[in-house]
Structure 1
């Protein structure tokens, strides 16, 4: 059932990309704001309660609907899984930026590529070279594939029905939304638990994604970069994914870039050549090979369970 649901969800998402921010991120953010208004007095315990009610309530609701539909008809349960996966995973919501940037670079239209990158990342891109644009695009694509495909996929497999997919997506949105307000003294430590909870939830998916990149890419370089470079990247453990992906591709990521007139000091990740438009295409292939690897593993697990049964 899991494999069929995943394949159907990926096919639907490829045929009809979901407007993620409008349909998923903004409603979940409004829910987080509602819970913030109801419970936040600046204390961590209140944030724990709000997180449990918000994220836990969504997980229980998704699981309850799945159980009810399973009792009626297994096909209805599959349809529910597909719908939830369609809402919680998929990378077509940002891949159009990646594709358009790739096309602009191939046509030597650097200003257009910078504009698209700025819209995608929400940060100024003036003064970036074509290599900078390609490098930042590859980084964003690797992170996006983890957060919108592999992280959801792993938790979907681990928990019954669509509970894992809802857990990962809701926890990610709550952590991101409340982290934006963490510097506000009035907000207090209300969002601290949400950030820590997502770090725990994402611990295994980060390593599973990095391992998949290593298996389908240059394994030796991916493992080397993972072990020696990942800790230098401070962003919520994403250095594991970026270092492994860079090593698997044989490209250099990270490194300082000029953003908004200021130099962003970033560690170097990966080995090999500077990023360019050809490496952007290679990154697409890496992600799709990793997806196929996951689907094959699920198929083998399903066959093993049938034989064992």
Structure 2
């Protein structure tokens, strides 16, 4: 059922792309803000109680609905699976921006590529070279493929019905929203949300990194995975980026202009500097990893039927 749900979501997404920001991100962020406004008294235990309301309760309610529908008719449970997956995962959340940036660079329109990158990643882009734009776009695509596809898919497989997909998406949005609020108020309200998401994302990070290694340059991917993420600002995403860069044979990270100043970042990967050709290679890497996932789901389905 997991494989058929995944195939159905990919097909629906091609014919009816989802406006993720308007339909999913903004409503869930508003929900997180609402709960935060009611519970944020500054303490970690307040954050724990709020997280249970904002994340755990919706996941449990979804599990009850799924089990009721599945007991009534398995097809109804499958439809719910497809619907929740369609809302919580998908390539179109980032592929449109990425493809447009790649096309602009191919045509030599650096200014448009900068504009598209700034709209996608909400960052200043003036002064970026074509190589800088390609590098940041590849980093964004690898990170987004993890957070919008592979991590959601793993939790979808691990928990019954669509509960895992909702758990990952809600936990990520709640963490980001509450961390921003915590930075403004200088308290510990978001500490539990950060720790909970770190636990939730621990296994997906490594499965995504492993998938990139298997379908790319395995030796370089594993070497980069083991030696480079500790120096990346967001270490958990650094695991995915380092493995992806090693699998592609490209150098990511490094210095970049951020808000008019040069920001020094650790280097990830090995090989040549990023350019528009590596952008196409990154697309191939993500698709090969997706095919690997689908093959694994097919084999698991066969094993279940045999059992």
Q: TM-score range by the shorter chain?
A: over 0.9
- Residue by residue over 1:195-214, the C-alpha shift from the partner in whole angstroms, topping out at 9 and shown as x without a partner, is 11001100000000000000
Corresponding residue for residue 179 of structure 1: 179
Name the SS for the 2:182 alignment partner.
coil
- TM-fit CA distance, 1:236: 4.3
- TM-fit CA distance, 1:6: 1.2
- TM-fit CA distance, 1:300: 0.6
Counterpart Cα distance in 1 of 2:66 and 2:284: 34
- Residue by residue over 1:207-256, the C-alpha shift from the partner in whole angstroms, topping out at 9 and shown as x without a partner, is 00000000000101101111111211121411100000000001000010
Counterpart Cα distance in 1 of 2:58 and 2:103: 39
- TM-fit CA distance, 1:21: 1.2
- Map of 1:10-159 to 2, 5 A cutoff? 10-159=10-159
- Map of 1:193-272 to 2, 5 A cutoff? 193-272=192-271
Give the TM-score taking structure 2 as reference length: 0.98
Counterpart Cα distance in 2 of 1:24 and 1:57: 18
- Residue by residue over 1:256-303, the C-alpha shift from the partner in whole angstroms, topping out at 9 and shown as x without a partner, is 011221011100111111111110011001001001100100111111
Counterpart Cα distance in 1 of 2:229 and 2:15: 35
Asked if 2 retains the 8 angstrom alpha-carbon contact of 1:126 and 1:259, the reply is no
Asked if 1 retains the 8 angstrom alpha-carbon contact of 2:93 and 2:148, the reply is no
- TM-fit CA distance, 1:22: 1.0
Say which is worse superposed, 97-106 or 19-28, in terms of deviation: 19-28
Corresponding residue for residue 272 of structure 2: 273
Counterpart Cα distance in 1 of 2:134 and 2:167: 32
Name the SS for the 1:8 alignment partner.
helix
Say which is worse superposed, 40-49 or 81-90, in terms of deviation: 40-49
Name the SS for the 1:4 alignment partner.
helix
Counterpart Cα distance in 2 of 1:23 and 1:195: 24
Corresponding residue for residue 8 of structure 1: 8
- Residue by residue over 1:129-153, the C-alpha shift from the partner in whole angstroms, topping out at 9 and shown as x without a partner, is 1000000000000000000000100
Corresponding residue for residue 164 of structure 1: 164
Asked if 2 retains the 8 angstrom alpha-carbon contact of 1:199 and 1:236, the reply is no
Structure 1 unmatched runs, 5+: none
Name the SS for the 2:262 alignment partner.
strand
Counterpart Cα distance in 1 of 2:54 and 2:245: 36
* 2:299 matches 1:300: yes
- TM-fit CA distance, 1:91: 2.2
Asked if 1 retains the 8 angstrom alpha-carbon contact of 2:229 and 2:235, the reply is no
Counterpart Cα distance in 2 of 1:16 and 1:274: 36
Name the SS for the 1:46 alignment partner.
helix
Name the SS for the 1:237 alignment partner.
helix
Asked if 1 retains the 8 angstrom alpha-carbon contact of 2:248 and 2:282, the reply is yes
Counterpart Cα distance in 2 of 1:245 and 1:33: 33
Name the SS for the 1:234 alignment partner.
coil
Segments of 4+ moved more than 3 angstroms: none
